[in-house]
Structure 1
Amino acid sequence: MQQKQFKLKANALFSLLGRPHPKALIEIPPKKDFATLELAILLALLLSADHLLETSSPAIMIVGKINLDGSIIPMPTLLDAPQAALSSGCKLLIAPPSQHPHTCDNVKIIHCSDIATALQQCRRFALKHEGESSIILEKGKPSPTSHPFTGIIGLEKAKKALVLSAAGGLNILLYGPPGVGKTLLLNTLEKLLPPLSETEIEEIARIRGEIPAKRPVLEIFPHMGEKDLHPGGSSFFHLVHKGVLIVDELTNQKERTLKTISFFLEKRKYDSYPVSFTLASAMNGCPCGNMGKEEELCTCTERQRERHWNKVGSALLDRFDICLSVLPENLMTVPLAYEDPDLLSTITEVWIKQQQRSELSYRKLLPLLSTSLQGRSLSMRASMSACKMAKLIADFEKRDVVTREDMVEALSYKTYGVDRHWR
């Protein structure tokens, strides 16, 4: 329905501007509010028709909603839009009329009352700054093309979980409604992985017959069957040794596939081949997909939710060191966090530290864990992974002693959908 309304509005506005109706295939994130994207899409189509998107000018951020007559709906404040433009490397911010003027260093902010004015400003900017695609950032900030979390605003808890997963080789499961960024986050994990050690390079080279340049990252899709996982007597899983196995839409995978994954996580070998990998997965929190959304109620019964999670199985769920809900966030109100330019080197340092630790160092933290559980019960495997995670959290804070706050934070990364009661 939203797509049809957008087409009608677009046709009316193109006619109002005296422009031909362009044809384009536009990929919209699922279940996004079209009203917040219409102005940006329309301006992009108009600039593309004038071949102005090919001028290699700096990026432009466009904020606002548009009426059928071409006017742009005023906004009382721009909130964090100027800072979001700056962190994304944008040099121009097209904004609606506002009661409060805004300024931002290195970002030009222009308030436009209608689409014709906004188009004129975008044209002028693209022609004036043709070929100036290089981005000037504030001193001390990382390059937006080099930082792993470039372009991902908000979701700070999930980002921290990915960092812990990369540094500690922790299996991670993200669950929540469609469109909140679970798949995007999973694909970011590859950028966070520490480099291979010499021993790991030798192991992978013996298995694959070639020297690897980086850690292997493979993905299992729902359509894959037994022949795909074990082709010609070999195994798909030994190819991801010392790397990351991504399994998106976990509840849509075949039951046999999930059991095979659980088997390799437990046995860690296939014939004479070692098989050790980090599992990164995502799934909806319930069958209808609305669990955790504020604007849409979940229509699933408790029994349906339990059946949904039972598809994964308690054995596989217990092997996820991190099980975290990812909820929708308003990108215009979420505070912008400073991205550490030394994040990758810190991850490598922490990874080296934890590689040198024995299981005994984690067992010594079990008394601290027992005082932090607050009535919760965990399996021995889950308890050890919580202790390991608490130690990792302390490592990132550059502390040798694990505090109760570290342990409580570690336990906050172990939330399961069947244990949560959503409104």
Structure 2
Amino acid sequence: MLARVQAPAQMGLEGQLVEIECDMSNGLPGLVVVGLGNKAVEEARERVRGAIKNSGLMLPPKRITLNLAPADIPKDGTGFDLGMAIAVLIASEQLPEVASSLFIGELALNGSVRATAGVVSAAHLAGRLGIDRLYVPSGQEQGLQRFNSTRVIPVKSLAQLAEHLRGAKPIRTRVKRSSPPLPIKPEVDFADIYGQEEAKRAMLIAASGRHNILLVGPPGVGKTMLAKAAAGIMPPLSAEQQMEVARLHEARGLSRPVNATDRPFRSPHHSTSVTALIGGGRHPTPGEISLSHHGVLFLDELPEFQRPVLEALRQPLEDGRITIGRAAGSATFPARFMLIAAQNPCPCGYRGDPERRCSCPAHQIQRYRKQISGPLLERIDMMVSVKRAKLDQVNRSTTTSQQLQAKVNQVSLLQKQRFKDDSLTNANLAGQGLQQHCRLDSGGQQLISQALAAFHLSTRTHVRILRVARTIADLDQSKTITSQHLAEAIRYRATTE
């Protein structure tokens, strides 16, 4: 008897449906797995053999061939174990045929089902293809049913699943209901940052419109704290965004709760390679820019990053996605993130500091600044100078992150109504949308023309100034961009001295 069972394979971000075919024939007893699997897939035959025997089921003394189709797609991981075992049991007529079902799970030799990677991608695939049932390892079903109509069934052991498929003892599942979102706990509260009111205002604007921002200041003035606080005031992820972020982390082999509503915050070290930042590998996996999708990518000590690493950011910052091509195939990952970068004004860090004297010669400062190319700087919407605050002259701020988040949520609601899409913000305004929502009066036109001429700003910078001005107007609940809004936006591009 020929049996067919469906299982998911993870190919980049999207799942791929794999059909497990099992054929039994007379001949020398054995179990063979074909279909371009890696070492883990090849070794599955021993796990399947042991699990069937130790679950009180029978492994027929025949030649058993398991084919993972399509055979030209590489398959890796241990998630095919459960599907292989079910295919063998159906082919040997120990279980009835199953339809519209997807199986994923690793088998232990005693027959228990262990957790495996790929369940979030499997749930997304099942919902996209309209598959009725998804069998996953027990404990990994949490939060999956809130995204589609597929029934998610947790499995503890192969014996339990066999009894369920026979109808002798169905597996009890909880009534489908939305799992409560995990609360957002900001790592740093703006109230804990002394002084820096101008920088806080800039971070509020950047978080509201998801604008890229560069913080320039001496060591110890709070640039890192400002970045972490900004991530804490961003609005919670929507249900669709939660699933997408969880799938990206899973594709990288990382664990993230499906119902986590906090925005990702990634802060790679300046020794990070190009592959680690944008993604790659023999089988393409997402990098830091994709892991920060819908969240924040914080690059501290920006000039210390290797020049090729920084230049690799240029296309993702414009397109919001990255396509990685390798000999084994290509994959496209989303990368719509808010970039927060921080740097010192010079190698020693104290240029312009009233308390410490800069010891850097002019040529060293010039070389330090040239590490960041002009095209990359043009893709940064706001540049803010962070000065040292004197503790004896400032008090603890009374403005909390909760209060600022309320303002950000109001602007996010306006943007959602404007774009009809949770993932788009003022930072994505372009074309007709830019002309429609960023119209300037005669005074504004004159002001922007003067700024472009005085600071020698490019067309790309012109567009980014208009986007920031639109966000500032939204914070003021203004439908039109006034000269005051435009002047503040220009100030964030004019200088960081």
Q: Shorter-normalised TM-score: what interval?
A: 0.5 to 0.7
The residue number in structure 1 matching 2:198 is 157
1:238 alignment partner, one of 273, 290, 308: 290
Aligned runs of 1:10-409 on 2, under 5 Å?
148-209=189-250, 211=258, 213=260, 214-229=262-277, 230=279, 232=281, 233-236=284-287, 237-271=289-323, 272-334=332-394, 338-339=398-399, 342-355=403-416, 356-357=418-419, 358-365=433-440, 368=444, 370-372=446-448, 373-374=450-451, 375-409=454-488
Q: TM-score, normalised by structure 2?
A: 0.51
Q: In the alignment, is the contact (CA less than 8 A) between 2:192 and 2:396 conserved in 1?
A: no
AA paired with 2:309?
Answer: T
For the structure 1 residues 277 and 254, does the alpha-carbon distance in structure 2 shift closer, same or farther, using more than 3 Å as the test? same
Runs (4 or more) in structure 1 with deviation over 6 Å come to: 144-147
Q: Which residues of structure 2 form unaligned runs of 5+?
A: 1-184, 251-256, 324-331, 420-432
What's the offset of the Cα at 1:145?
8.9
Identity of aligned residues (%): 30
1:155 & 1:299 partners in 2: Cα distance?
25
Name the structure with the higher strand share. Answer: 2
- 8 Å CA contact 1:390, 1:409 repeated in 2: yes
Shift of 1:351: 1.8
Shift in alpha-carbon separation, 1:366–1:177, aligned structure 2, 3 A: farther
| Structure 1 unaligned blocks of 5 or more | 1-143
Count of paired positions: 275
In structure 2, what is the Cα distance between the partners aligned to 1:224 and 1:147?
25
Confirm or deny: 8 A CA contact 1:163 1:347 kept in the other structure.
yes
Note closer, same or farther for the CA distance 1:205–1:287 as it changes in structure 2 (3 Å cut): closer
Partners of 1:315 and 1:148 lie apart in 2 by: 33
The 1:295–1:317 alpha-carbon spacing in structure 2 relative to 1, beyond 3 Å, is same
Hey, what does 1:19 align to over in structure 2?
A: none
* 2:489 aligned residue: 410
Computed over aligned residues only, the root mean square deviation of the Cα atoms, in angstroms, reads: 2.6
One-letter amino acid of the counterpart of residue 387, structure 1: L
Aligned to 1:52: none
SS, match of residue 150 in structure 1: helix
* Alignment-derived partner of residue 50 in structure 1: none
Q: Secondary structure at the match of 2:258?
A: coil
Sort the Cα spacing of 1:150 and 1:259 in 2 relative to 1 into closer, same or farther, 3 A: same
| Paired residues of 2:438 and 2:480 also in contact (CA < 8 A) | no
Q: 2:301, 2:403 → 1: CA distance? A: 32
SS of equivalent to 2:202: helix
Amino acid at match of 2:405: L
From the superposition, tell whether residues 285 and 212 of structure 1 become closer, same or farther in structure 2 (CA, over 3 Å).
farther
Aligned to 1:89: none
Question: Aligned to 2:393, what secondary structure does the other structure show?
Answer: coil
Alpha-carbon deviations, 1:321-371, whole Å to 9, x = none?
111111112121136654165321221110221342532235423861542
- Tell me the amino acid that sits aligned with residue 343 of structure 2: M
Residue number in structure 1 paired with 2:108: none
* Partner Cα separation in structure 2 for residue 147 and residue 218 of structure 1: 15
Partner amino acid, structure 1, of 2:409: T
Change (3 A) 1:366 1:259: farther
TM-fit CA distance, 1:252 = 0.9
Instruction: Tell me the SS of whatever aligns to 1:392.
Output: helix
Q: Is the 8 A contact 1:173 1:322 kept in 2?
A: yes
**Aligned pair in 2 of structure 1 residues 146, 359: CA closer, same or farther (>3 Å)?**
same
Tell me how far apart the structure 1 counterparts of residues 275 and 259 of structure 2 sit (CA, whole Å). Answer: 25
AA matched with 1:223: S
